[in-house]
Structure 1
Amino acid sequence: MLGIRARKPAGLPMVQVDAFSDERFRGNPAAVVVLDQPLDDATLLAIAAENNLSETAFLLRSHADGLDLATPSRWSIRWFTPTTEVDLCGHATLASAHVVLGQLEPDAERVEFSSRSGLLTVSRDHQAPDRLCMNFPADPPQPCPADGALSHALGATPRELLVASYWVAVFDTQAEVRALAPDFAALAKLPPGEVIATAPADGDELDFVSRFFAPGVGIDEDPVTGSAHCILAPYWAARLAKQRLRARQISARGGFIECVMRGDRVELIGRCVGYARGTIDL
């Protein structure tokens, strides 16, 4: 009809956030996409591949898992790398909470995400209003025999090898971890293709440092990895006899995480900085 234009469908809101950092261009960048209805997996993966970040989180107001629908701060969450869906992603969850509590529901004190790893809670840290506290399941690693193929792929032999959801290669010094230059193609062939390298931190300001290599899921080195600290926190808590730990992931971008053991759970505390907002046109 003359004078009437077809309304263009609204796009999907997307926010890019630098997680585990109080400084833009540091920490780990994640995209957070807010859905108004479920999308098929192929489309979600295509969006994540287009973003080409280590993870894209997709949020949908939850209607499942027995959650109280009258509570506005409950969402389902899924995480995709550019090549696959993953079971747990800490930095993209922190980024998602930053978006929900900072923009979508600024009066809420916490947000709960239903996920493939169960119910995940992120709360405001009342000791520091700009920090967020994630409550995740701990994943204590277990000792395992030395693996020559893994040492060869890392380019160095760790003093200790552990395994949980990922390999954990423990070194004696921070310098050894910083100097690692892995053969990513070789690492990708060692299931699950994801390896944490860790060591005691230099000085008294931090307890431990780490790097995380994940070529098995399309990420050679992840800048800052929350899920890795679900493994590292129980290991270092036992080794250092401390329940509160200060950690830095010493990737090129770098990032700081405070870890607190709570029984079989671990709290991961960090900051976020918004980088960009946009709309996805499908």
Structure 2
Amino acid sequence: MDICAHATLASAHILFSNGLVGSSDIVEFATQSGILIAKKVPEEGSFLVELSLPEILTCEYNSNDVSIFSKALSGATIVDIKGTTTDSTISKALNGAPKAASTDKIIVVLPSWESVKELQPIRDDILKCPGKMLVVTAAAPPGSAYDFISRVFGPKIGVDESPVCGSAHCALADYWSLKMNKCDFLAYAASPRSGTVKIHFDKEKQRVLLIGKAVTVMKGSVLV
């Protein structure tokens, strides 16, 4: 995985919680997507973590066969399909070599919030779709506290449905900023575990800021 927000968020949480970075409120991680920055954001009785991730650009997806996606999504009506690409000037491997553009994520837009939330995907047919991850999304209805909803399916990489996929929101931020002409979003990830994501898309710096929270659920000792 070029970007794994779950792992970055959890790692930052442990570093901050256990004082492993002293009094610093910032941790930088060297990854295949360049430097990812985690910032500690105080909250009453606890703290949140703000991740600064590279934008993932959306692009036209040229396919004459929309039916393969509709079939994988139990015959859902599809409003739009986009591919994704990573700007090589932003995301580079650790050796400094530019990374090639990819369409690892396919964004499929459905007509309504309910159509995403109630979707019954067909795993075997998703495996036949292009890309490594299928990101299904729709705009929130008028009056909602949220801006958009999403679900992410990745059986090709061993994740039938991601609870809350950070890297997908890096692409969704680009897609919905173009559609809604805004840069700040409250998104709802409608997996069975579900979650809320606060997003700020910094177009000038080409970064996506995601704010989330982690909880320590287990501690142990290793005897050497």
Which TM class, normalised by the smaller chain length? 0.7 to 0.9
- The aligned counterpart of 1:13 is none
8 Å contact from structure 1 (residues 243, 260) kept in 2: yes
Shift of 1:252: 0.9
Matched, 1:170 2:109: yes
2-structure distance, mates of 1:245, 1:267: 10
Equivalent position amino acid for 2:51 in 1:
M
Matched, 1:252 2:192: yes
Shift of 1:248: 1.1
2-structure distance, mates of 1:150, 1:280: 47
Per-residue CA deviations over 1:222-242 (Å, capped at 9, x if unaligned) read 101000000001111121111
Equivalent position amino acid for 2:123 in 1:
F
- The aligned counterpart of 1:92 is 7
Matched, 1:136 2:53: yes
- The aligned counterpart of 1:112 is 28
Q: How many residues align?
A: 197
2-structure distance, mates of 1:157, 1:148: 10
Equivalent position amino acid for 2:69 in 1:
L
Shift of 1:126: 5.1
1-structure distance, mates of 2:57, 2:77: 22
8 Å contact from structure 1 (residues 187, 193) kept in 2: no
Shift of 1:254: 0.8
Relative contact order higher in (CA < 8 Å, ≥ 6 apart)? 1
1-structure distance, mates of 2:215, 2:25: 19
1-structure distance, mates of 2:215, 2:12: 12
Unaligned runs of 5+ in 2: 85-103
169, 187, 196: which is aligned to 1:229? 169
Question: C-alpha root-mean-square deviation of aligned residues, in Å?
Answer: 1.9
TM-score by length of 1: 0.65
72, 80, 84: which is aligned to 1:153? 72
Would the alpha carbon gap of residues 220 and 121 (structure 1) be closer, same or farther in structure 2, given more than 3 Å must change? same
- The aligned counterpart of 1:197 is 136
1-structure distance, mates of 2:180, 2:11: 32
TM-score by length of 2: 0.81
8 Å contact from structure 1 (residues 257, 268) kept in 2: yes
2-structure distance, mates of 1:255, 1:206: 12
Would the alpha carbon gap of residues 176 and 189 (structure 1) be closer, same or farther in structure 2, given more than 3 Å must change? same
Per-residue CA deviations over 1:259-281 (Å, capped at 9, x if unaligned) read 10112111111111221123568
- The aligned counterpart of 1:53 is none
Unaligned runs of 5+ in 1: 1-85
The runs of 4+ residues in structure 1 deviating greater than 2 Å are 125-129, 189-193, 278-282
Per-residue CA deviations over 1:64-109 (Å, capped at 9, x if unaligned) read xxxxxxxxxxxxxxxxxxxxxx221112211111111111235221
Per-residue CA deviations over 1:150-198 (Å, capped at 9, x if unaligned) read 2111211321011113010111211000121111122123233310111
Would the alpha carbon gap of residues 278 and 171 (structure 1) be closer, same or farther in structure 2, given more than 3 Å must change? same
Taking the TM superposition and a 5 Å limit, the aligned residue runs for 1:1-282 are 86-103=1-18, 104-105=20-21, 107-125=23-41, 130-144=47-61, 145=63, 147-155=66-74, 156-164=76-84, 165-202=104-141, 203-263=143-203, 264-279=206-221
